[in-house]
A and B are shown apart, each in its own frame.
Chain A
Amino acid sequence: MLVLADVHAYYGESHVLQGISLAVEQGQIVSLLGRNGVGKTTTLRTIMGLVPARTGQILYKGQSLVGLPPHRIARLGIQLVPEHRGIFPALTVRENLQVGAAHPSDPQRARHNAARVFAYFPVLRERLHQKGGSLSGGEQQQLTIARALMAGPELLLLDEPCEGLAPLVVRTLLQAIRDIRADGTTVLLVEQNVRAALQVADSHYVMDKGRIIGKFSAEALQADEELRTRFLGVSARL
């Protein structure tokens, strides 16, 4: 569904992505793991068109995304849920969701999702008329995922959704991610929280210093202590 081939990207002079190649199959949850600052967020932002890919190919359903502006990429069916959430703080929860629904990539999927978001995230229904900025961190995270789903994406890029959230909220989010996939949305998940990623993802790419180290199953990651210690900073089995 999504293929990156030897993608290079820069922030100013700094060479952040140094040849990223990865593939996400339709219907999968794929995680992208690695320490802080290795380029995981940049990878997602490059797919979304927020950071230009200097060289390399990004293909979505066979179509090149390189050079397209973010709104065009969104309308092809990709949604990015950014790390720091990016809610509209002065808009109500309902209005935040309406911005997501303004130009859906697939109106039928968007309608289907609109009916489902309150099943994934019941708390949003209670907060419907509150300002986005008044929500707790966990609620804001749920709002950004719900808002992205309102656009009817087929591929959801999630950037550290579990960061800084209480275990109970993390559990809610992980269940929602499983449900979202079960309802037919493919997920590429960037996580620092390796334990969380292992619980939901089907396969795992490990990144280091702007490059992909390899693709691993959960079992392979569990078995390889050196890999975990060196690239993920966790030595214990998870």
Chain B
Amino acid sequence: MEAIAVQALQGLTFGTTLFLVAAGLSIIWGLMNILNFTHGTLYALGAYLGLVVFGLTGGNFWAALLAAFVSVAGVGAALEIVALRRLFGRDPLYYFLLTFGLTFVLTEILRLIWGDDFLGLPVPAALEGSLHVGIIFPLYRLFVIGVSGAVALGVWLLLTRTNFGLLLRAGTQNPEMVSVLGTNIQTIYTLGFALGSGLAGLAGVLVAPLTGLSPQMGVDLLLQAFIVVIIGGLGSFRGAAVASLLVGEIYAFGIRIAPSFSMLLIYAAMILVLLIKPSGLFVEGAGREA
């Protein structure tokens, strides 16, 4: 029983952080029709920037989280303005090639600055140790669940309660109409891309104390986040939330039951969803052309 509870919490830790990455990916995919391969590298960049700020501020983890979000959002906005915007209206294949290529460039930059070795980001002192209430569970993992949950709630409020969120959701469904109605859709694209990137950066810092940092730390996670977006439904925030938790739990229990097959179980879940409901569990971008 205790083992199951611990495993469920492990799954929740993975699921909630996966959600931060997948939500950003889903926002960008839904809004701009871009399968953003740089997303995993932006996640790694966030972790490294967090590490730097953590050091500079004498171990202020909140500052590391905030700095990673803000600066990676800034990098995302710059990427959108400098590179992606130039491909506007072209075949999605060009976006694929560009973001794929940028991934290599960014990964090399990380490698040049911080090297290939695994680096560690310490767990903040206040969050060391474990919780003992029937089960034993590391405090830091609970903190990760709490912060990810709070950020998810914040993003949900942003999307549903603010003018920007409204325009972003409208842009996901019909960008041309948004611009006809007087909103510069290009600005919404830039801000949406920045938001998605920032979330990936934030997730990088949160996960770094658990996994360590390496330039390739985002590769596996990106794949899992893609699977989440496919299961959840293109551009659907709710879908990404449900699918992240699902994938997190499948992975956590899979590791316990059959460690070498845990990834395979996730693929199986994706294939199952694709067979039963090809558009994903939730579809919110319905009505969009092409």
Contact = CB atoms under 8 A, between A and B. Distances in A.
Co-assembled chains A and B:
yes
Interface of A: 48, 50, 69-71, 74-75, 79-80, 82, 86-91, 95-96, 98-100, 102-105, 133, 147-148, 151
A95 B166 contact: yes
A88 B170 contact: yes
B286 interface: yes
Interface of B: 163, 166-167, 169-170, 173-174, 176-185, 284-287
Contacts of B173: 88-91
Given A88-B169, A90-B287, A99-B166, A69 B182 contact: no
B170 A71 contact: no
Nearest to A102: B183
A102 B169 contact: no
Contact of A102 (B174, B176, B182, B287): B182
Main secondary structure on B side of the interface with A: helix
A148 B184 CA distance: 16
Contacts of A147: 181
A128 to B, nearest CB: 15
B90 to A, nearest CB: 15
From A69, A71, A148, name the one whose CB has the most chain B CB atoms within 10 angstroms. A71
B182 A74 contact: yes
A98 B177 contact: no
Contacts of A151: 181-182
14 contacts: A71-B180, A71-B182, A71-B185, A74-B181, A86-B176, A86-B180, A90-B169, A90-B284, A91-B169, A91-B173, A103-B182, A105-B182, A147-B181, A148-B181
A98 B180 CA distance: 14
Per CB-CB distance, the 9 closest pairs between chain A and chain B, nearest first, are: A74-B182, A89-B287, A103-B182, A86-B177, A70-B179, A88-B173, A99-B170, A71-B179, A90-B284
